[in-house]
Amino acid sequence: MLLRSPPHLAFFSPHSPTYLRSLFILSSSPRMSGQTVDPIMLENFPKPLSPPLPAISKSVELSRAMTAAAKSSVFNLSRSDVVFEDEWLIVVNKPQGVYCERVLASVPDVLDELSDSSGVSAKGEVGEGRPVRELHLANRLDRDTSGAMIITKSNKVAAKLVRAFTEHKVKKTYIALCVGVAPEWETVTVRSGHGRSKFGAWRVYAASDVGRSLPGGSVVRDMETAFQVLSVNGKRCVNGMDGSGKDGDQYIVVEEKSSADNNLTSDEILIRASPRSGRTHQIRLHCQYLGIPIRGDVKYEGVHEWRGMTYNGHELHAESLSLEHPVTGDLIMFHAPLPSWASDALQSAA
């Protein structure tokens, strides 16, 4: 019978360097030498500066995920969802509460519908020379985030756009409706660290922690977002809501926990956010840190119920994408039509 050692054990020659190094490590470890284990030595990790997930988020998020799965299973794009389309890519307006994968899966049908008048076959071929479409998501949105998504039609174009997003060459703006205490600033830029805590949740970390290791082997990464307040309780705050994403008058470098009280929910604040990096839940985390969590965003302390209404998702919309076309090199900008909560808020502030 062939005996195998447990996967966590390895055997070396007593004369090998590896054996000697292993022996030194074992003999000098606190457990082997009888010393008390210092928790600081074992968990010398950066401390998150944003709070852990609220207790309510677990049950609400589970319910939302189940609802989204059911909605996504029957969802199909329509021609009205298409923002732009050419030979190399298609831009669509993703609705709230639908998974990106389902949006991608329904693209072929809407492309075939759009191509009926141009002579393109149902397989995506013109004559005999055009290959079958190779569809890829160039950017992703959270389940409950609506707005502009780019889908590419070939592997080469997909690689170019992924590189553009990774290198932060794509300018993005988002619209969000927040509930909290109206901030004193009208424009601000926030820079912090970003990473997963030991429980797996995304958290805000100090800017000075960028590059430091986290539990699980990941590291703290940089995260920067510029914000504009567009309106407070329906009253306009910024002259010219053009989405230019100009640098904020104030600049916050996060190094300590926020002093904002997210239990104070007196105002509705419509904001425009321009992320300079592309971190998971970036805008949602920075809104939480600023004390103006997004309405419906229970994961990051946003209100679930507000003024007699229950919200089944957070109100965040990917408003625009500006980039260099991956094939033609032209500068292009796409605007996704606003959802009703955003257009109503903008109209009341006009």
Q: Quick check: is 142 catalytic?
A: yes
Whole-angstrom Cα distance, residue 317 to residue 186?
A: 20
Please tell me which residue in 81, 142, 144, 297 is annotated as part of the active site: 142
**Is residue 276 a contact partner of residue 283, using CB atoms and an 8 Å limit?**
no
Beta bridge partners of 89: 152
**Is residue 168 a contact partner of residue 206, using CB atoms and an 8 Å limit?**
no
Whole-angstrom Cα distance, residue 57 to residue 55?
A: 5
Positions of E strands within the chain: 82-85, 89-94, 136-137, 146-152, 171-180, 187-196, 202-205, 221-232, 235-236, 250-253, 267-275, 305-306, 309-310, 316-324, 331-335
DSSP-assigned letter for residue 213: B
- Residues designated catalytic: 142
